[in-house]
């Protein structure tokens, strides 16, 4: 079996959420627990940190991993989705799992797991937990796939739980109100384990959900948005942030999206809690982690500048909460003409996203190469009904080529609307 055959097997034999959406979602943890028992509960052999939330999970997870790496820990990192290579999901100190280990996992274990009919994410989680044990990581940063309460990562007992924020996404699974979504995310709060809440958006009902869950679990709870972790923040036009913080004084952050100010507050509070629980985290290691996230962990697609003149920026923000930040930042970033390449998946709140987008931009409507993508003609019609003007392209590569041809040196080309649009862009240029 080649690596290409192995990943194709995973994508086609186990339901893959990024392709088919709801059809890949399996409620309950019975299959996860069966896989975990089969492999001898590998996650119990190393420490873990659990990260949930609607937006910001990836940035928070990668930055925490970078800080831990910088101080000398051997760090596993499990995130989703991947953008270019399946192996991005499973890393140790920034290095992706070897192709041969993925092949070996399928060839060796398929006789056991095929009768269980696991989902893609259940299999990937089992592989990650097992690989981290084999490679003797000190600690693994584990990002929740979807929700929290019934997510298959929720079998771990972490040193710290983190919930970044609550916004509307995956409402068909998690609920149609913010308190309902918060209740699902709060499912990762464990007995006697501290939990850091990044932000509640000023919603008292959401805050109360977390307070009540933490109380029943006897879990210390800290609200990062009520702390003074970040005293001030300055986002640079060229990317990155300069922060004034109560923990470290001045701090330089590599990641440059507007959402990173909230994420940084969450991360700093989390790091403080980890220090309290015995983690060795020097100020210098934290500085290195923040300033070198991409180099240390391989993070891509977060307000990432692909090229200059014209400046091309991509961002994986894909729901109302994420797009709000992106639109504000595009408006504040110097440019002559704004070109937006956009595609979305069909189970998002497309109408609301379209109402947020700037009317003056030139649009290149497209669709990513996953089955969940809304057909470009349908997206184009919806967009034009909202007053957005542009042309349709059958794929991201053609839309990008056309935007590059039309844009002048002082223009901006933004690529986004879906993680999978960013994935297609990075695949065609890397």
pLDDT by residue (tens digit) across 231-261? 999 999 878 999 999 989 999 999 999 999 9
**DSSP state for residue 375 in the 8-state scheme:** P
Chain centre to alpha carbon of residue 364 = 25
On the question of pLDDT at 170 being above 60, the answer is no
Does position 400 have pLDDT exceeding 80, yes or no? yes
Mean pLDDT value across residues 133-140 = 98
- Mean pLDDT of the region 215-229: 96
User: What is the strand order of the sheet 249-253 is part of?
Assistant: 230-235, 241-245, 249-253
Mean pLDDT of 188-207: 93
pLDDT at site 166: 86
Average pLDDT over residues 113-141: 95
Tell me the mean pLDDT in the region 207-232: 96
**Which carries the bigger pLDDT value, residue 54 or residue 196?**
196
Distance CA 137, CA 354 (A): 43
Give the pLDDT mean for 386-408. Answer: 97
Per-residue pLDDT of 12-37, as tens digits, reads 877 554 444 444 445 679 999 999 99
Helices 30-38, 120-134: crossing angle, 10 deg rounding: 30
Q: Give per-residue pLDDT as tens, 34-84.
A: 999 999 999 999 999 999 998 899 999 999 999 999 999 999 999 999 999
In the prediction, which pLDDT does 21 show?
44
- Say if strands 304-307 and 362-365 run parallel, antiparallel, or are unpaired: unpaired
- pTM score, two decimals? 0.93
The most confident of the ranges 23-32, 196-205, 350-359 is 350-359
Average pLDDT rounded to a whole number, residues 105-131: 94
Q: Note the pLDDT of residue 11.
A: 87
Mean per-residue pLDDT over the chain, rounded: 93
The pLDDT value recorded for residue 24 is 42
The C-alpha angle 121, 124, 127, rounded to 5 degrees, equals 150
| Domains of the chain with bracketed CATH | 3-297 (3.40.1190.10), 304-429 (3.90.190.20)
- The answer to which of 16-20, 148-152, 214-218, 267-271 has the lowest mean pLDDT is 16-20
Contact of 304 with 255, CB cutoff 8 Å: no
Question: Mean pLDDT across the stretch 126-131?
Answer: 98
pLDDT band at 343 (very low <50, low <70, confident <90, very high): very high
Using alpha carbons, select from 304, 182, 190 the residue that is nearest to residue 240.
304
- The rounded distance, in Å, linking the Cα atoms of 383 and 415 is 16
Sort 61 into a burial class: Cβ within 10 Å, 0-12 / 13-18 / 19+: buried
pLDDT digits (tens, 9 = 90+) for 357-374: 999 999 999 999 988 899
The backbone torsions φ and ψ at residue 137, rounded to the nearest 5 degrees and listed phi first, read: -70, 155
The CA–CA distances, whole Å, from 144 to 43, 52, 54, 60, 373 equal 15, 5, 10, 12, 23
Provide the pLDDT for residue 75. Answer: 98
Least confident of 27-31, 113-117, 341-345, 370-374: 27-31
Task: Give me the mean pLDDT over the 275-291 stretch.
Answer: 97
Average pLDDT, integer, range 273-286 = 97
For the segment 320-343, the average pLDDT, to the nearest whole number, is 94
Strands annotated E in 126-268: 139-143, 160-163, 195-197, 221-223, 230-235, 241-245, 249-253
Residue pair 152/32 in contact by the 8 Å Cβ criterion: yes
- pLDDT at res. 85: 96
- Higher per-residue confidence, 17 vs 192: 192
pLDDT at 238: 79
């Amino acid at each position: 079996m080649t690596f290409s055959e192995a990943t194709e097997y995973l994508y086609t034999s186990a339901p893959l959420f990024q392709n088919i959406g709801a059809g890949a979602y399996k409620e309950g943890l019975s299959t996860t627990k069966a896989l975990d028992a089969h492999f001898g509960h590998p996650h119990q052999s190393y420490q873990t940190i659990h990260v949930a939330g609607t937006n910001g999970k990836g940035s928070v997870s990668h930055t925490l991993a970078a800080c831990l790496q910088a101080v000398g820990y051997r760090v596993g990192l499990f995130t989703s989705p991947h953008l270019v290579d399946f192996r991005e999901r499973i890393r140790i100190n920034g290095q992706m799992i070897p192709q041969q280990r993925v092949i070996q996992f399928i060839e060796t274990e398929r006789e056991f797991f095929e009768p269980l009919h696991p989902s893609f994410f259940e299999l990937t989680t089992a592989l990650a937990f097992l690989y981290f044990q084999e490679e003797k990581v000190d600690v693994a940063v584990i990002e929740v796939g979807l929700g929290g309460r019934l997510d298959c990562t929720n079998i771990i007992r972490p040193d710290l739980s983190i919930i970044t924020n609550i916004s509307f996404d995956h409402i068909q699974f998690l609920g149609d109100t913010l308190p309902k979504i918060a209740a699902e995310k709060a499912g990762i709060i464990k007995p006697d384990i501290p939990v850091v809440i990044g932000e509640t958006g000023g919603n008292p009902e959401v805050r109360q959900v977390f307070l009540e869950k933490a109380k029943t679990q006897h879990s210390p709870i800290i609200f990062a948005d009520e702390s003074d972790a970040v005293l001030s923040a300055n986002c640079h036009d060229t990317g990155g942030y300069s922060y004034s913080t109560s923990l470290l004084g001045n701090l330089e952050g590599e990641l440059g999206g507007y959402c990173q100010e909230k994420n940084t507050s969450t991360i700093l509070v989390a790091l403080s809690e980890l220090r309290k629980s015995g983690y060795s985290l020097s100020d210098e290691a934290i500085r290195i982690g923040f300033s070198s996230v991409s180099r240390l962990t391989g993070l891509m697609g977060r307000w990432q500048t692909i090229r200059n003149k014209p400046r091309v920026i991509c961002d994986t923000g894909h729901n109302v909460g994420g797009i709000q930040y992106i639109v504000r930042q595009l408006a504040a970033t110097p440019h002559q003409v704004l070109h937006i390449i956009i595609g979305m998946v069909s189970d998002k709140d497309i109408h609301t996203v379209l109402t947020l987008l700037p009317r003056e931009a030139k649009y290149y409507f497209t669709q990513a190469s996953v089955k969940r993508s809304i057909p470009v003609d349908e997206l184009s019609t919806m967009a034009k009904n909202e007053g957005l003007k542009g042309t349709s392209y059958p794929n991201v590569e053609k839309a990008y080529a056309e935007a590059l041809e039309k844009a002048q040196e002082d223009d901006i080309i933004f690529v986004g609307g879906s993680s999978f649009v960013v994935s297609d862009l990075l695949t065609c240029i890397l």
